[in-house]
Structure 1
């Protein structure tokens, strides 16, 4: 396996601080198996799926055999994955493609984690094992047409009616929403006005989902607009541990930290593409890497990628110790998505006209990072949250 220890990224250049040497054999195994899947299965075909805005079902079927779904959930058929291994998995998937990585993020980090954290024992036993095998697909329905950054103000309602709950409202930008076997729906209890979580199964009357069209980012994963009209679910489908927005927010902290790893994957893809292209491209009788300005730009890109790695590794360590505060996860997400945008813009520019062609694997990442920069809390929101934390002054209003 040592010959596959190429560092925290796809090439020997990326791991400039030799962080991969700190990985134990289990962590390295997760890195290598995901990297090989990306290199041999994802990269040869993903451009077509992305261009057609087609969900890559064959890749999902192959992904199921890797044993990487679960993001550290203990038991219930989920593989044993520590926070660093989970980050490496998400980094590599996004180095391949943001759409596929987002699918896994929704499945593991949002839907499965919600059930693991807030579900009853029966709900966990029913859903988590088949979801870990990708026999069942999950979705996480929080965002609404009028509530993105202020999702705490969600308007979807839940009304108790005997042994059932009746849900009404709209959701938007719901990854996997049209293909999910179970959707974790967050709704406000009409009686106590607290946010609660419900498991809505495919085929439930009054639940309608349609694929959102016209996206210029994450085109190969389907986000849904969902309408809930008098959707009736049994009390047994309410997650007993989801009784306030704080319970939902606990799930989001872990996934926000993983956004930093996702951004790192995109940045690594851009940096590697730029390095490879600059070394091979001949201009004025010599390679682009022979020019001082090109070397300067490559070094600055590497500096950003390395800083992103350090953010990721430290947040993973803090998560392992149970010490990852929401503000730290948010700052890591803010930093890495911003830096990834910079790295990918440089990579696209270094490739010249070829930078806008899918064949060169830069423009797809450049467009996909825009979605990651936005979801799980925008840069503005993360700035306000961190600012409040360090100054003890809220500047939200």
Structure 2
């Protein structure tokens, strides 16, 4: 069901947006309008300067961008398809702002929503939904990425009613300006991974911006060092008792990255279509050349197939039937097709495809990070392979 506000993207070739409710479509319309009017015009400049546009945080909160899944923070009842489409919309305009939303809403708020006590949910989720409190998610380490389940080196040692954390984290988005970081650390007593809400003003906690990035440059990724950081027991996520609980957060957000990848593909595709309909070579518009049309057709096919897969994946989440393998297949497929799509978009634009002014270069570069985080293609393929064969091929 749609409303008068519904405005289809040209890349929504099969009108998948029709699957959203009238209320969801209205909200998508408002989100799209804000992103196009306020974020799109500044994205290239902030990307080039590797700075974050803090002025977008509160308006996005007013649009319900943070925590739409949780009772304590959502503005209205919504579906996983809606939340995925919202990730597509933000990814279409800018991958970095989309990543900020994903870290805040999915990873940070998701950790609290899934593993926090009712008291922790009530304390943190409403403040994060309004943008009053900025969150981050600290799992990846300098020497631990894909092997986080067994290779986590950050430690947590209990002393009565408090814990002492020591270790390092790397690639932590939002961490340079976050108010609280969800830190995952290994309990020295039982060897299990547990989660902690660490406020960034805690003594012994430092976050240093990672410089010289060439992908998602607007995202303020940081190296975190914790030296004898003391966290009270009340700031330990009460329902996080092993890495299985960490994995639940990653499962919840993995499909959103697939949706974000579709958005990044669409942003590049729309820029390429606009370019070839204006650019002339050999006395004709580029859009009239067979090889150009072939590449654009391939791009749209990738986008359409990815939307269809992600719509079904989100529907399974609403039904309570989504598994690790469903989310992993969606993430692996959509990000692989994104990488292919942005490459073709750059190709049809020739040399101008590597210049920020033409809309593809930023998406082309950002695709590399989106392709890798929330599980590499290979790791997600092994999750699917385990579901197919019943045998794990992960190194133990």
1:198 is aligned to 196
Q: CA deviation at 1:68?
A: 2.2
**Which of 177, 180, 183 does residue 179 from structure 1 map onto?**
177
2:41 is aligned to 44
Distance 2:370 2:322 in 1: 20
| Distance 1:76-1:396 versus aligned 2 partners, 3 A rule | closer
Equivalent residue of 1:43, what SS?
A: helix
1:141 is aligned to 138
Contact 1:30 1:88 in 2 (8 A): no
**Partner deviation per Cα, 1:270-301 (whole Å, 9 max, x = no partner):** 11111111111122222111111111111111
1:359 is aligned to 357
Which runs of structure 1 show a deviation greater than 2 angstroms over 4 or more consecutive aligned residues?
Answer: 1-7, 20-23, 75-81, 392-397
Q: CA deviation at 1:77?
A: 5.8
Contact 2:103 2:137 in 1 (8 A): yes
Distance 1:349 1:3 in 2: 37
* TM, length-normalised to structure 2: 0.96
Which 10-residue stretch deviates more, 160-169 or 73-82?
Answer: 73-82
Equivalent residue of 1:59, what SS?
A: helix
1:227 is aligned to 225
Distance 2:358 2:153 in 1: 43
Distance 1:94 1:112 in 2: 19
- 1:85-96 pair list within 5 angstroms: 85-96=82-93
Distance 1:86 1:395 in 2: 32
**Which of 68, 72, 83 does residue 69 from structure 2 map onto?**
72
1:216 is aligned to 214
**Which of 36, 55, 58 does residue 55 from structure 2 map onto?**
58
Which 10-residue stretch deviates more, 40-49 or 21-30?
Answer: 21-30
**Which of 281, 284, 287 does residue 285 from structure 2 map onto?**
287
Contact 1:27 1:84 in 2 (8 A): no
Distance 2:20 2:138 in 1: 35
Contact 1:172 1:224 in 2 (8 A): yes
**Partner deviation per Cα, 1:15-38 (whole Å, 9 max, x = no partner):** 221222332212212221121111
Contact 1:141 1:186 in 2 (8 A): yes
Distance 1:201 1:396 in 2: 35
Q: Does residue 327 in structure 1 map to residue 329 in structure 2?
A: no
Distance 1:308 1:314 in 2: 10
1:170 is aligned to 168
Contact 1:263 1:337 in 2 (8 A): yes
1:317 is aligned to 315
2:340 is aligned to 342
Q: CA deviation at 1:2?
A: 5.1
**Which of 293, 297, 305 does residue 299 from structure 1 map onto?**
297
Distance 1:131 1:78 in 2: 13
Which 10-residue stretch deviates more, 149-158 or 30-39?
Answer: 30-39
Distance 1:190 1:290 in 2: 65
Contact 2:324 2:383 in 1 (8 A): no
- 1:368-387 pair list within 5 angstroms: 368-387=366-385
Distance 1:28 1:155 in 2: 44
Q: CA deviation at 1:203?
A: 0.8
Q: CA deviation at 1:227?
A: 0.6
The runs of 5 or more residues in structure 1 that have no matched partner are none
Distance 2:106 2:391 in 1: 31
Give the root-mean-square deviation of aligned CA atoms.
1.4
